[in-house]
Structure 1
Amino acid sequence: RWPGAEVVATCATGGRPDMALSVLGLLASYEDAPIWIAEDKVVARILRGGESWTIEGSEGKTFSIIAIAPGTVASEHGLEWELDHSPLGLLADTGISNVVRSTATIQVHTGIAIAYLYKKGQ
């Protein structure tokens, strides 16, 4: 309806893991616009196959990516530990607790993942 519009969800996690997973599942099913999540300590992006996120000016901050769909494959560059077309297991820890070292590019090739950038190095 609004070309180029993005969805930004705030207070999406509610402090309860069951609520957070449910909200993330609902947001991931929305395919009409890029999905961002803005919380006090983190900004997150739901990335579907073919989507990417470029992160600038965040050196030293913690970054994590978690697959929320089976068959997710991602690449990460500009981080302490880089991935190149690496499979991410569903809800696995392969992509958690990384560190941004320079301008970072995150790309999901297939599947769906949620990428988290913490506002302070945590």
Structure 2
Amino acid sequence: MNTPGGPMAIVCVAIASVAIAVVAAGFALGLTFRMRNLGAATLTQFAIFFTIFLSTSQVPLYAMSGWLRGVARINPMTNILRFARQGFLGDVTWEQSWGGIIAMASLLILTFIYAMTGIKKFDQ
């Protein structure tokens, strides 16, 4: 596969994919432990869908207007998607990477805490 970013393009997509999957798993576990049933899976799917939908997954930020542009600007998924696709659009650069790395790390930490506090409530 020939990409402008070379092999780093694939590495960035792989890192972003695994991070999104682990964030979704942490969110699902936190919800499931709190709700105490598997109906939380539906809420997890709904939340992840809207997080991706309200980002730049379909339309670039410069082409958006109104409330959707404002939401997409602050949505962490926008930075993660920018991180994932940068190697397919050009070189992999720190300028395009740092926002995605911070967003992934923040979401991983928050969902880990959410899942761990959920399991503590589940044990009680």
In which range does the TM-score fall when normalised by the shorter chain? under 0.3
Bigger fraction of residues in strand: 1
Looking at CA atoms only, which structure, 1 or 2, has the larger radius of gyration? Answer: 2
Greater relative contact order (Cα < 8 A, sep 6+) = 2
